[in-house]
Structure 1
Amino acid sequence: MVHFLRMILENTQTKYERHFEVMRDLRKGGLNPDMYPEFLNTVKNLPNLPSRKISDYRIFDKFNLSNLTESDVFVISNEFQRRSRNITKTCWHPLASSSTCKVDRSRKIIVTEAHSIQNNGVLSKISENGHVVGFSLDKNGFEDKEIGKNIASTFLGFCNNHDAIFYPIETNSYSGTDEQHFLYAYRAFVVSFHKKRETSYFINYGIQSENDIEENKKIFDLAIISKNYSVIKTDVFELPAHYPMAVSSAANLEFDFDGNPIIHSENRMGNLYI
């Protein structure tokens, strides 16, 4: 019985078929295309998790599966990231279409690497010799390493045409306008929920997760189309010194700044954009 195989099957948030597909394609753990259909059918016929016994996993012995090494897990993880990035790349702009986005000869939208933190602004100020320090998943876990500032904080979330929406915070100095505050929040929203959609390629977050994304996107989309940038409430905290770090992200809110519990609507969770 294979420990990694059992771990995948017993994690209710894991989309086990996606894991096994990657293992099959990379020939890891003993999986291969020839035996895969029979293997997958065997998995689907296992008893439901609450009534499953350890002995039920012995049926996999006939497939001669082997456990994964740390190196195997690292290779599989990288392949997950590659596939999820390719599948989820899209232009998030509310007016995105083949007639407004930059497209190739087949009229397919060309999505390029967009920065979630200004490359020629903040990243330039905190970089040394064209590099910043970030965290990435290695076979030893999350480790810090130097990253070229031209690729740091990038994600496949906009075409070149619509990435121009961020010019007021990319090319203009910060002046505290409603538009600038909105754009900082909008970019934090897009990069955070785009990353969540990437990981949903192999993790099941449930229906409510996608509802949160869509309902929040409606608010941002309408504000962009109507240019009503005051829909976002902004609090600015000024630090007493320069700290060489930057972030663009979002987090679910449970309490307000006064410590009062936040009551969320049934449609979406409220978020803090940083």
Structure 2
Amino acid sequence: MTEGPRNPFIYKPQLGLAPPAKMPGVNEPCWCGSGVKYKKCHRDRESKAEANPFADSAKMRTASKKGRCLHPDSGGGHCGSTAIGSHTVQKNGGLKAIAEEGHVLTTFVGFEDIQKANGAPEPKRMGVNDASTFPGFCNKHDTELFAPIEGSSLNLGPKEAFLFLYRSHCLELARKRVVVGHLPTFKKMDSGKPMQAQFAIQDGMRAYEQGLLLSLTSMEAEKNDMDGALLSENWADVHYCQVEFDGLLPLTTTCGFYPEFDWDGNDLQDLSDLSQPGLPLSFTITSFEGYSSAILVWRGPQDDLRKQFVTSFLGVSDAEKAGRIAAFAFEVSENTQIKPSWWVGLPSSVRERLIAKTAHGTIVAQPEASAMKDVAPLTSPLAVKSVLTSWA
């Protein structure tokens, strides 16, 4: 078991950009690698006005609310309709079950919130109409496609599991596209900075860009493959697990993630090994008929490290499962919605610890194997009501 650096693009800056031995000529390509002439890029940038990260964040937030429907039409193309704010967790089930006065708290915060809070922002209050939404699908496709997992009850099978997986993948892809689209803006964040700071910022941005583009390429390919499976209704390689509790967890979430450790803190995959593609899992916490479920789904071989991750969770004592999975939501998902009174009622030290977990795996903090054993204290104990796996 190790707790060393995991992401080479974040934690190994020697893979990034070295300061130039000498400045390029005014008509030569800029040292930062932009491909633009030096005189139109970094020349005299230290004397220019400092960048405004809050204004740039507002632009990115606006862009994140716009998009085209991601559903493939029957002809194999893509629906051309404008996307609505698609919920990643059903509003009338999972969200309303934890909402108070029509609102929840969310860990999906803006760049300015992160900056102002020095990397550890409090969850923000948000209405259930807007919580957990992204510009994923037009109204027609959103309603028709996800009807099997949007009702008051759930009968989980391969098709339903695929829909949980597909929605979480589209969420992650849509948000990744927005970030990549704003890379040129991010690269100008060194405006007004001294030369040495410019080198450091561009070094980090070069590495960040490489990681983003690699991830986006992989996600686009997976989306195309999933579109084919959706149109042909081929669920043969879909594997899933549902753990249902005997009451309500105080949160919901949906995300896609790459499990690096199992629930005992053992290594599963090294994301710094770029010769091996990362193996993702879909993770959802929502509720049906007043009972919360944790649902994990993947496509591909049944018996790989993802099953190992799931079976290690099943090996956690039933008395701890609810608290462990609740803490895990803060570890891997920026799309977690929280019951306000539960959050306010937690000791400040617990809130600080859970907030700190949201930074794991980012440029702020590396992931920690020991974090897999964290427990979020619940208002009342929850027992396991049932367990369903596709391989049982």
Using the size of structure 1 for normalisation, the TM-score is 0.66
Q: Could you tell me how far 1:216 is from its partner in structure 2?
A: 1.4
Q: Which of residues 111, 116, 121 in structure 2 aligns to 1:140? A: 116
Q: 1:43 to 1:238 in 2, by over 3 A?
A: farther
Q: 1:80 to 1:43 in 2, by over 3 A?
A: farther
Paired residue secondary structure (1:217) = helix
Letter in 2 for 1:235: C
Q: 1:48 to 1:226 in 2, by over 3 A?
A: closer
CA distance in 2 between partners of 1:210 and 1:120 (Å): 32
Q: Could you tell me how far 1:48 is from its partner in structure 2?
A: 5.0
RMSD of Structure 2 on Structure 1 (CA): 3.6
The aligned residue for residue 255 of structure 2 is: 249
Higher relative contact order (CA 8 A, sep 6+): 2
Matched-pair contact (CA < 8 Å) for 1:254–1:262 = yes
The aligned residue for residue 119 of structure 1 is: 91
The aligned residue for residue 45 of structure 2 is: 60
CA distance in 2 between partners of 1:201 and 1:256 (Å): 33
Paired residue secondary structure (1:237) = strand
The answer to whether residue 31 in structure 2 is matched with residue 47 in structure 1 is: yes
CA distance in 2 between partners of 1:261 and 1:77 (Å): 35
How many residues were matched structurally? 218
Paired residue secondary structure (1:129) = coil
Identity %: 27
Paired residue secondary structure (1:220) = helix
Q: Which residues of structure 1 form unaligned runs of 5+?
A: 1-9, 14-40, 50-56, 102-107
Using the size of structure 2 for normalisation, the TM-score is 0.48
CA distance in 1 between partners of 2:99 and 2:221 (Å): 36
Per-residue CA distance 1:208-248 (angstroms, 9 max, x = gap): 32321122113321221121234221122334542120111
The aligned residue for residue 76 of structure 1 is: 56
The aligned residue for residue 233 of structure 1 is: 239
Q: Which residues of structure 2 form unaligned runs of 5+?
A: 1-12, 17-24, 34-41, 184-208, 284-392
Matched-pair contact (CA < 8 Å) for 1:212–1:267 = no
CA distance in 2 between partners of 1:240 and 1:111 (Å): 36
Superposition pairs for residues 12-31 of structure 1, below 5 Å? none
Per-residue CA distance 1:145-173 (angstroms, 9 max, x = gap): 21000011111111112112000111251
Q: Which of residues 173, 191, 207 in structure 2 aligns to 1:193? A: 173
CA distance in 2 between partners of 1:145 and 1:241 (Å): 25
The aligned residue for residue 151 of structure 1 is: 130
Q: Could you tell me how far 1:43 is from its partner in structure 2?
A: 10
Matched-pair contact (CA < 8 Å) for 2:69–2:78 = no
Matched-pair contact (CA < 8 Å) for 2:98–2:251 = yes
Per-residue CA distance 1:118-139 (angstroms, 9 max, x = gap): 0111001010111111131225
Q: 1:200 to 1:207 in 2, by over 3 A?
A: closer
